[in-house]
Amino acid sequence: MTERRYDYDLFVIGAGSGGVRAARRASEAGARVAVAEESRVGGTCVIRGCIPKKFLVYASQFGEAFEDAVGYGWSYDKASFDWPTLIANKDREIARLEGVYRSNLEKSGVELINDRAVLAGGHEIELKRTGTTVSAERILISTGGRPNPHRALHGHELCITSDEAFELEKLPEKVVIAGGGYIAVEFAGIFATLGVETTILYRGKEILQRFDMDLRRLLHAEYENKGIHIRCQDVLGRIERKSDGWLRGTFLGGDCYDAEQIMLAVGRLPNTEGLGLEKLGIRQDKRGSICVDEYSKTNVEYVWAIGDVTDRMQLTPVAIHEAMCFVDTVFCGRPTKPDYGSVATAVFSQPELGTVGMTEDQARCDIDNLAIYKSVFRPLKNTLSGRSERMLMKLVVDADTDKVLGAHVLGPDAGEMAQLLGVSVKMGVTKSDFDRTMAVHPTAAEELVTMYKPSYTVRKGEVVEAA
C-alpha cells in the first residue's frame, strides 16, 4: 500500500474506543498499523467510564428493587451491600474486557505498543519508555480526555474526580458533587441509592443543561424525593481538610458544608499535553483540543484526530463512528464525513434519561409551529411497590410537516428506548407514523404511540393552545 519509506502506514496514538476501532479497520483494509498506549487498552469508556459506571448503576439499583419487592409479596431478613466486593468484581470484569481488546487488536494484525508515544517532528514518533523512534506515513491522534482538575479552585487537589470514584476503598458517608452534567448526575444517583448522603452543587439554574427542560425538572424533583440535595446557582469557593480528615467546602455564597469526599465533575480536558503537537504546528483551540476539518484531518496533511481529543461530541459511539469515517476516507477511497445529526444519548441517572433530537426550547427557536405531546405517569411496576416515582414521555413535533423533531423519555429503560427512537427520528419519522404504530401492551413505551392529542401547541416561540 505504501512505499516502504516508513515503518507503518498508520500510527495511532491512544488505544481507546476510537483508536482501537480505527487501528483494526485500517489493518483489515490492508494497512500496516501500530497503536501505542501508555496506560490500559480500552480508554475511558472501558477502563474508567461508561462500562464501570454502568456496573455501579446496576449495583445501586438493587436497593430500590429490594424495597419494591415487598409490595410484590417478597420478604427478606436483611440485605447488605459491600462496596469492596463490587469494586473487586468490577475490576475483574474490566481486566477481562481489556484482554478482549488486546486480543482483537492482535487478531486484526495491529501491533500494540505499550508505551507513551509523542510526535517527534515530521513523520516520526518517539516512544518514551524504550527511547526508540519509529515513522509512519499517516498519524492518528486518539488520546481522549481526562477529568478537568479545576486548578483554579483553592483545595482542588483534595477532591476526587470520576477516575478516583471508581477506585474508592470505602463508600463515603457524605459526598458533594460539583457539576450538573452527565457525570455529576449519574454519580449522584449511584452514591445516593447506595446510601451516601449526596449533594449536587451546580452553577446553573437547572441540572443537565443540554437536555429538555421538562426532563430536567422532573429528574430534579425525583432526585430530591430520593433525598439528594441539589443546590443550583452556586459554586465552591475553597476546600480545606479538617482535623478529623473530612473536607470543608466553602461556597461562594459564604456558607460551609462538610463532606467525606468532594467530587469534581466539571467537564473533561483533552489529552494533548506533552504530545509534541507544536513540533508539527498542529492547531489547537483555546481548551487545548485538536482542531480538525469535517474529515477529522488536522491542519497537517498526514495527521488526523478523532474522539474526545477533538472538541466535538464526547461520546464513545461518536468516537467509533469518527474512526470508521476516517478509515473509509483515508484507506478505502470513500470520503466520509461523520454524521452528527440526531445522535441519541442516555444519562444513567435514576430514573434514567434517554433522548434524541431537538429539545422543546431548541425547536422553539428554529421552528414556527410546534405541537408538543407530553405524558407524565406512574409506571405500572410502581403501583404494587408503592413507589411514587413518575415517568415522562415527550415528543416535539413540527406542526407544519408532522415531523418528529425530538423524542425524550425519563424513566426505567429510557436509554434502551432512546436507541430505537434514534432509528425512527434519523429516518424522519412523522407523528402520524407513531399514531399508526400498534402499541406493545402492557409496556411503558406504549405511551409513545398513544399520545393522540397535543398537550399544547407553540407558535413563534409562544404557547398558543394548552390542553
Q: Which of 261, 345, 382, 424 binds ligand NDP (CB under 6 A)?
A: 345
Q: Which of 136, 290, 347, 356 binds ligand NDP (CB under 6 A)?
A: 347
- Options 29-37, 132-140, 182-190, 436-444: segment touching ligand NDP (CB under 6 A): 182-190
Q: What is the 3-state secondary structure (H, E, C) of the chain?
A: CCCCCCCEEEEEECCCHHHHHHHHHHHHCCCCEEEECCCCCCHHHHHHCHHHHHHHHHHHHHHHHHHHHHHCCCCCCCCCCCHHHHHHHHHHHHHHHHHHHHHHHHHCCCEEECCCEEEEECCEEEECCCCEEEEEEEEEECCCEEECCCCCCECHHHCECHHHHCCCCCCCCEEEEECCCHHHHHHHHHHHHCCCEEEEEECCCCCCCCCCHHHHHHHHHHHHHCCCEEEECCCEEEEEECCCCCEEEEECCCCEEEECEEEECCCEEECCCCCCHHHHCCCECCCCCECCCCCCECCCCCEEECHHHECCCCCHHHHHHHHHHHHHHHHCCCCCCCCCCCCCEEECCCCCEEEEECCHHHHHHHCCEEEEEEEEECCCHHHHHCCCCCEEEEEEEECCCCEEEEEEEECCCHHHHHHHHHHHHHCCCEHHHHHCCCCCCCCCHHHHHCCCCCCEEEECCEEEEEC
> Distance (Å, rounded) from C-alpha 49 to C-alpha 166?
9
Please say whether the beta carbons of 247 and 258 come within 8 A: yes
| 374 interacts with ligand NDP by CB under 6 A | no
Q: Which of 346, 396, 429, 458 binds ligand NDP (CB under 6 A)?
A: 346
| 239 interacts with ligand NDP by CB under 6 A | no
181 is in an annotated binding site: yes
195 is in an annotated binding site: no
Cβ burial, residue 250 (10 Å; 0-12/13-18/19+): middle
> Distance (Å, rounded) from C-alpha 271 to C-alpha 289?
8
Q: Which is nearer to ligand NDP, 27 or 193 (CB)?
A: 193
User: Using CB atoms, what's the residue nearest to ligand NDP?
Assistant: 181
| 451 interacts with ligand NDP by CB under 6 A | no
Which residues within the stretch 322-341 sit at the binding site for ligand NDP (CB under 6 A)?
Answer: none
> Distance (Å, rounded) from C-alpha 271 to C-alpha 259?
30
Please say whether the beta carbons of 143 and 35 come within 8 A: no
* Number of residues assigned to the chain: 467
Q: Which of 101, 182, 211, 223 binds ligand NDP (CB under 6 A)?
A: 182
Q: Which of 180, 249, 307, 351 binds ligand NDP (CB under 6 A)?
A: 180
Which residues within the stretch 251-310 sit at the binding site for ligand NDP (CB under 6 A)?
Answer: 265-268
| 146 interacts with ligand NDP by CB under 6 A | no
Query: Is 441 labeled as catalytic in the residue annotation?
Result: yes
- Options 183-191, 373-381, 390-398, 439-447: segment touching ligand NDP (CB under 6 A): 183-191
| 181 interacts with ligand NDP by CB under 6 A | yes
Site string for ligand NDP, 37-76 (x = CB under 6 A): ----------------------------------------
Q: Which is nearer to ligand NDP, 48 or 123 (CB)?
A: 48
79 is in an annotated binding site: no
Q: Which of 160, 175, 315, 448 binds ligand NDP (CB under 6 A)?
A: 315
Count of residues engaged in binding ligand NDP, rule: CB under 6 A: 24
| 218 interacts with ligand NDP by CB under 6 A | no
| 237 interacts with ligand NDP by CB under 6 A | no
- Options 22-30, 95-103, 346-354, 376-384: segment touching ligand NDP (CB under 6 A): 346-354
- Options 131-139, 196-204, 240-248, 286-294: segment touching ligand NDP (CB under 6 A): 196-204
| 203 interacts with ligand NDP by CB under 6 A | yes
Q: Which of 184, 367, 396, 397 binds ligand NDP (CB under 6 A)?
A: 184
- Options 73-81, 174-182, 220-228, 237-245: segment touching ligand NDP (CB under 6 A): 174-182
| 370 interacts with ligand NDP by CB under 6 A | no
Catalytic residue among 123, 321, 408, 441: 441
Please say whether the beta carbons of 421 and 447 come within 8 A: no
What residues act catalytically? 441
Q: Which residues are annotated as a binding site for NAD(+)?
A: 179-186, 267
Q: Which residues are annotated as a binding site?
A: 54, 179-186, 267, 308
Which residues contribute to the site for ligand NDP (CB under 6 A)?
150, 178-184, 186, 202-204, 209, 235, 265-268, 314-315, 345-348
Q: Which residues are annotated as a binding site for FAD?
A: 54, 308
